[in-house]
Amino acid sequence: MGNWVKACDANNVGSGELYGFDYDDKKILLANLDGKIYATDRICTHAQADLSTGILSEEGVRCPLHLSVFNLENGKPQNPPAEESLKTYNVKIDKNVVYVEI
């Protein structure tokens, strides 16, 4: 069990939006796909691009650099060149605040 960490107000990550935040040395990505918020590591496992500047679609988040798409549920890359999964985190929303279990 990790600690639940306050990430942002839910308004900061509206439907279809990506949002990045840092906690200690971790760089976390929030992604709101169809009203559900997911959290993953924010740095691409291929060559360190920041996924908060990527593109969100039904398949997941697309890396802005070499275009691998990562599934938001399990962090798995859907296409090369990325091979390693992103770490994923549990998310909860309480009183319009997003918390991530780190």
Residue 46 touches ligand FES, criterion: CB under 6 A: yes
Q: Both tokens of residue 15?
A: 């439907």
Region near ligand FES per CB under 6 A, out of 1-9, 13-21, 44-52, 89-97:
44-52
For β-strands 69-70 and 60-62, DSSP reports them as antiparallel
Residue 97: exposure state from Cβ atoms within 10 A (0-12, 13-18, ≥19): middle
CB of 22 to ligand FES, least distance (A): 19
Could you list the residues that contact ligand FES (CB under 6 A)? 44, 46-47, 49, 63, 65-66, 68, 81-82
